[in-house]
Structure formats: C-alpha cells, structure tokens
Amino acid sequence: MGQDVIATPSAVPPAATDTEPAVYGRQSPAERWEIDRGGSSLTFTLRQMLVQQVSGSFGSWGGTLFLDRRQPSLSRMTLWVDLDSVDTESMERDTHLCSAEFFDVARYPRATFESTEVKIGDRAIVVRGRLRLHGIVQHVELSITPMAMPENATIGQRETFDMSAALNRQAFGLRWNERKIELVEAVVGDQIHLNARVEMVRAIDQSLLASS
C-alpha cells in the first residue's frame, strides 16, 4: 500500500467507527442507514478525445449514513469503492484504468470517503468530507437528494437517494495523458462526474435505543 498524501490538510474531528453511534465523540440519536448494493448503482462519466463521453460503473461499493434530524451537524457518512470493480464495457480500458498508469489498484485498491460536515436543507443534503483516492486526500462535496424521507421512519424501511459529485482527476494524481491529437493534449478530460442512485435500509442499533 502506498503512503497517503494529504493534499489539503485541515483540522477535523476524528470519524467514529461504524459500530459506534458516537458522532465526533458525542452520543447522538442518529438514524443508521446502510446502502443496499442490490438496489443501488454508482456510475461515472468523463470526456475522452475532446468529444467522446465515456461512462462506467463500479460493482463493489457501499457505505453508512448516520442521520441526526434534530442536530444535522452531528450526522456523518462513510463510503468505500473497490476500484478494481470498474466496468466501462471495455476489458482493455478497464485493465488500463486499474494499472499503475491510472488507479494503480495494486497499491491503492480502495477509495474511501469520510464526512466532516453535513447540512440538511429542504430539498437536498450537502455532505462535505475527505476523499482518499490514489494515495491522495482531497476535500470534496456530495449533493444528495432524498426521493422519500418521512419524519417517522420505521425499522427496515427503505429510502432512495440520488447522489452526485464532480472530481478533478489531476488533483488526485491521475495525470495519464500520453497521446496527442493535432497537438491537443486534452485527450482525457479532467472532470469526472459521479452519480449514484442509492437505496438505503434503515437499521436500529440497540445501543442507540438505550441511550435515547
């Protein structure tokens, strides 16, 4: 495993583990939501050769959301993606993406995200946090739109969310761009657009019930 580089260091509270309902060291009556990968999808698009748009998906990923409606600032979210599960419907391209020239999955097999700030609005949830990708940590922002979000959820209830984010691959050291077309270097675009349809299942942690 390669050593991580903190690209934009800042003082942030340590994230609690998924097995503890404590948020930044404090007890919170949070709702725990787990991603159901069977009903969810994580896709991405980027521009290639100036005009062609390449799309793909990841087959192995997941995450947890602790949602505190009374004190949204105490909410937190974690995500993970196994980069070798990339699928662009081209075996040659997928092999190249996993190679040392791009994701370098032999050294950095997984991308992870840990939230540092959650803001809940009337129509959307904005989650800011640290994304660790290719051995580099950058602060990114996720926009999450709940498709259904009742005030009084019940055990085992499912909810669907749309999630989106934009990343600059250069910021994470993904600088491969060897070819040139008529002296134009931008063969692969820098902006990667992530989109996810996330189906989540609410679970009740008995320790949360005991502390409420």
Tens digit of each residue's pLDDT (9 = 90 or more) over 43-75: 998 875 555 678 899 999 999 988 887 887 888
**Cβ–Cβ under 8 Å, residues 208 and 30:** yes
Q: How far apart are CA 59 and CA 68, in angstroms?
A: 29
Q: Point out which residues pair with 47 in neighbouring strands.
A: 53
The mean pLDDT value for 197-209 works out to 72
Q: What is the pLDDT of residues 23-43, one digit of tens each?
A: 333 444 578 889 998 889 999
Residue 148's CB is within 10 A of a number of other CB atoms, namely: 10
Whether the per-residue pLDDT at 180 is higher than 60: the answer is no
What the block records as the tokens of 36 is 């159901």
> What phi-psi label fits residue 84: left (phi over 0), alpha (psi between -120 and 50 degrees) or beta?
alpha
Q: Which of 158, 124, 126, 144 is nearest to 38 (CA)?
A: 158
Q: Which residue has the higher pLDDT, 192 or 11?
A: 192
Q: What is the pLDDT of residues 126-152, one digit of tens each?
A: 999 999 999 999 999 999 987 754 555
Those residues whose C-beta lies under 8 Å from the C-beta of residue 120, and which sit 6 or more positions away, are 69, 72, 75
**Cβ–Cβ under 8 Å, residues 30 and 16:** no
Characterize 8-31 residue by residue with b for buried, 16 or more Cβ atoms within 10 angstroms of its Cβ, and e for exposed. eeeeeeebbeeeebbbeeeebebb
Q: Which of 97, 67, 63, 66 is nearest to 80 (CA)?
A: 63
